[in-house]
Amino acid sequence: MSLENMVAQNAEEINRILLEEIERKKTEFHTFNKIPRLSRECVITEKLDGTNAQILITEDKKLYAGSRNRWLIEDGVLVSDNFGFGAWVLQNKEELVEGLGIGRHFGEWWGAGIQRKYGLKEKRFSLFNTDKWSNEYVRPKCCHVVPVLYKGMFTTDRVDEWVLTLSVDGSKAAPGFMDPEGVVIYHVAAGTYFKKTIKNDESPKGKVNAE
């Protein structure tokens, strides 16, 4: 058998295996996920209007940092930036690596020059994991945490109460700033985040931004 015939035969066999796998997956059994109960614990925090950010620290302490859509730092090297977040991470590298530890850490990069600006002269990185980082003596000194407004049984009344409170009293993250965005609700049993904004909550995000 010639080399060309062997290559063609192998290609046909590979295609046959791939087609069989595709057909198998079409009929593969899938279970329906268990439905979490709605009336369970939730955590309501202030929704900050900045830009999504994350820090990843690997087991061998390599440092990565990213925006919502791309890496800004890869293996400790700045490859891009987003409102100065990458540069800030490098400036605080040692404290972040030692203080946050191994894992992926999500938060909001907000303040001066970003979205609402909040009347701040500086930018801040506020971590989302309130259970882990609310204690200021535990988290890195260069980091903040999103303010916890309520922790308890989920009800829409509680959500609406805190949306109203923020609209009247202003931001808890930046006291004195009277145009906060809204709230984020973390439903513990579902392991899912929801948001409710003070203004234009009924409109899709793209439409609100366009307006």
Interior/surface letters 115-149, b for 16+ CB within 10 angstroms, e for the rest: ebbbebeebbbbbbebeebeeeeebbeebbbbbeb
- Supply the pTM of this predicted model: 0.84
Cβ–Cβ under 8 Å, residues 208 and 49: no
Residue 94's DSSP bridge partners are: none
Q: Within a 10 A sphere around the Cβ of 107, how many other Cβ atoms?
A: 23
- For the chain, 211 residues long, give each residue's pLDDT as a single digit of tens: 566 666 567 778 888 888 888 888 888 888 998 999 999 999 999 999 999 999 999 999 999 999 999 999 999 999 999 999 999 999 999 999 999 999 999 999 999 999 999 999 999 999 999 999 999 999 999 999 999 999 999 999 999 999 999 999 999 999 999 999 999 999 999 999 999 999 999 887 665 554 3
48 φψ region: left (φ > 0), alpha (ψ -120 to 50), beta (else): beta
Phi-psi domain of 193 (left: phi exceeds 0; alpha: psi -120 through 50; beta: other) = beta
